[in-house]
Amino acid sequence: MRLIGEFISGIDDLITGMTDIMNRFIERGFARLRREIIYSIVLSILTILSLVSMLVGFVLFLTRFLPLDVVMGGFGVIIFILALIMGFGKGKQRQSRM
């Protein structure tokens, strides 16, 4: 009788341990997924901001506001380069995991 009780207790411990492992895995997975979503949103905002800035710089160039168009266009290019660097860094991280 005691042997059956120990066996059932061992199975209970095993199930509890497996449940804990799965819960940790799910929490880490969701945290990683949340991080990925936030990262992609920031990257999208940076890209849109750079494109808008370059477009404003181009419009200012057409209207002959020369000092301001250089500033806006340069700002857009700098943000776009930053977004490219962030995107390439994320791509290398994904490749290294595989």
pLDDT at 97 over 60: no
Nearest to 45 by CA among 72, 74, 82, 70: 82
Radius of gyration of the chain (CA): 26
The predicted structure's pLDDT at residue 61: 78
Contact (Cβ atoms closer than 8 angstroms) between residue 70 and residue 53:
no
- pLDDT one-digit tens code per residue, 32-68: 767 777 777 777 777 788 778 777 877 877 787 777 7
Contact (Cβ atoms closer than 8 angstroms) between residue 49 and residue 79:
yes
> What's the whole-number mean pLDDT along residues 6-33?
70
Q: Confidence band (pLDDT; 50, 70, 90) for 75?
A: confident
